[in-house]
């Protein structure tokens, strides 16, 4: 298993500003994922963060808006840039502990609850 922590747990931000969310895993993992969960909605994958390479973004998400860093095998950051009220969501990071992918359980952080005014 993996224990994942996120900082901050919540924040209230002004539009036009940026927020960086940190995700720390207690063991080395190959892949880390960033999800957005809008109010009352399911999870939408933003991007996959690989150590040592550029993040892979899903359709509808771009690097300029959601830059991601993955400096090592236990840590990643997601920045929400030039925020607007539409960015108000829960942002979750997750990681599967293994390397095969298929059928792997994903472990989730507790989420960062962001409110943009």
Partner 1 sequence: AQSVTQLGSHVSVSEGALVLLRCNYSSSVPPYLFWYVQYPNQGLQLLLKYTTGATLVKGINGFEAEFKKSETSFHLTKPSAHMSDAAEYFCALNTGGFKTIFGAGTRLFVKA
How wide is the angle at C-alpha 94 spanned by C-alphas 37 and 92, nearest 5°? 25
3-class secondary structure, 85 = helix
Binders of partner 1 in range 73-92 (CB under 8 A): 92
Task: Quote the distance between the C-alpha of residue 69 and its chain's center.
Answer: 10
Interface with partner 1 (CB under 8 A), residue from 2, 31, 114, 116:
31
- Give the span between the Cα atoms of 40 and 5, in whole angstroms: 23
User: With respect to partner 1, which residue has the nearer C-beta, 67 or 111?
Assistant: 111
> Nearest Cα to 25, choosing from 98, 91, 76?
76
CB of 44 to partner 1, least distance (A): 8
What is the per-residue binding string for partner 1 in 37-66, x denoting contact by CB under 8 A? ----xxx-x--x------------------
Residues found near partner 1 in the complex (CB under 8 A): 4, 31, 33, 41-43, 45, 48, 92, 94, 96, 101-111, 113
């Amino acid at each position: 298993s993996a224990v994942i922590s996120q900082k901050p747990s919540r924040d209230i931000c002004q539009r036009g500003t940026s927020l960086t969310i940190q995700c720390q895993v207690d063991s080395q993992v190959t892949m880390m994922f960033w999800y957005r969960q809008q109010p009352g909605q399911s999870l939408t994958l933003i991007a996959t963060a690989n150590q040592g390479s550029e993040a892979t973004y899903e359709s509808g998400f771009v690097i300029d808006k959601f830059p991601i860093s993955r400096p090592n095998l236990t840590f990643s950051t997601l920045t929400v840039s030039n925020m607007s009220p539409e960015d108000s969501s829960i942002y979750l990071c997750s990681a599967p502990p293994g390397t095969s992918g298929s059928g792997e359980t994903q472990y989730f952080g507790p989420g960062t609850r962001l409110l943009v005014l």
